[in-house]
Amino acid sequence: MRNRRLSEMSASSLLAASVPPSDGLLTALAATASPVPDGPAPLAPSSTPRILHVAEAFGGGVATALGDYVAATRDLEHWLLVSVAAACPVDLPDEASPAAVLALPEGHRARLQTIADAYKRLQPDRVHAHSSRAGAYVRLIPAIPASAIVYTPHCYAFERRDVSVITRAMYAAAEYLLARRNGAVAACSPREAHLAARLHRTQRIIHVPNTAPPPSTSPGVASLSLATSPPTAVTVGRLCSQKDPAFFARTATSSPSPANWVWIGDGDARYRCILREAGVQVTGWLPRADIASMLREANVYVHTAAWEGSPLAVLEAAAAGLPVAARAISAFEALRLPDLAATPLDLATTALRLAKPGPHVAAHRVLLNQALKEHTRAHQSARLARAYNLTSQRQAHHSSQPGIARPMPTTVPPLLPQPHSIPPPNKLWLPQPRP
């Protein structure tokens, strides 16, 4: 369950500057959070491997994924150095109990200095950078050895479609140059893993799947009736260019028959107006329990993002028993999601077809569960262990051997050899392809 909402911070920050309330969006993640002691001396070594997580935009899917990582590796000591994204709710699993949550200040220079100080004081075994900007900060600090850096882009910035080709090329060039500083890439999706391989063929790449509750084998509440008139199509996400609310609005207006179209979330007021003009209900941000309830009462989940990493909303919709009608983008094609659609009309037609109970929906659900079968806590935990590559003797990261992958745990299915265009299987861990 993800029901720990951040509302205020009590843990001391590394530089004796506590995280501000920020309109009620921050909270202490653990009542027993340990503040970093004052003074220049490094923190005392711990018998438990120590991980420092750095997130520049700590909100939405990044925060939820990071919380899942912490919950999946409770045998490690996790410290969070984060800057909370404005107006974006933060929910973490109950099982996520980091040692402390520290504030990442505003300004590039201040952030670089704070991360460097955090590394010096905490002496972590690994520094896990989340998203492109945090990844740049961490890799630009020479005091942090490359072998200690684990990087999860959560969708590379050069995948964006709301910036010019020149800007995307600059993002790609920056990632190419910084890739040499990756000890490992913990890719959140097969697509992200393949992009990482194209950036630097010799780095260790491990696909660490996002997780959701075990998938339901039964339909949602609304689809139990033979014909909900009209059916309800729902999506969850922030109103921003990545999620492409305009595409969702065009899908709603292209609907060949009446339907209720619902967007759960909030964000850019411009997109809110576009959706409402198209007859879409915009609920704003809701508590996690209310979102789960709305998913169970809907007939179909519709996802219209223009680019993605591995969206948790899709996993949660599938876990709620909903069929998923998604836009045909590279990330979903790599996941092999069924029934993808390229245009608003095709997506509306697919969504309404999946909203009606029948053998086609059962077949869709089988393919959907097959595509998402590795998105479990067991797989995530095993892959994170591989990404962190911590030895049983607790050797310092300075003596670790970058590029050497340890044997895959028996709880994870063996991986098939990869095509010659990407690194060999001992360097790149991807989900086993379906027959």
Nearest to 299 by CA among 217, 222, 215: 222
2-207 and 222-371: same fold? Answer: yes
**Structure tokens belonging to residue 278:** 């198209």
Note the pLDDT of residue 419: 32
- The per-residue pLDDT for range 207-221, each reduced to its tens digit, is 999 997 665 544 554
- The per-residue pLDDT for range 241-282, each reduced to its tens digit, is 999 999 999 999 999 999 999 999 999 999 999 999 999 999
pLDDT at residue 313 is higher than 70: yes
Three-state DSSP class for 267? strand
- The per-residue pLDDT for range 10-38, each reduced to its tens digit, is 233 333 333 332 332 233 333 333 334 44
The fourth-level CATH superfamily of domain 222-371 is: Glycogen Phosphorylase B; (3.40.50.2000)
2-207 folds as Rossmann fold (3.40.50)
- The per-residue pLDDT for range 104-119, each reduced to its tens digit, is 999 999 999 999 999 9
Q: What's the pLDDT band for 393 if we cut at 50, 70, 90?
A: very low
Question: How many CB atoms lie under 10 A from the CB of residue 273?
Answer: 14
Note the pLDDT of residue 420: 30
pLDDT at residue 417 is higher than 50: no
Residue linked to tokens 């955090």? 118
Instruction: Tell me the residue length of the chain.
Output: 435
For the chain, give every domain's residue range: 2-207, 222-371
pLDDT at residue 194 is higher than 50: yes
Note the pLDDT of residue 47: 82
Cα dihedral 325, 326, 328, 330 sign: negative
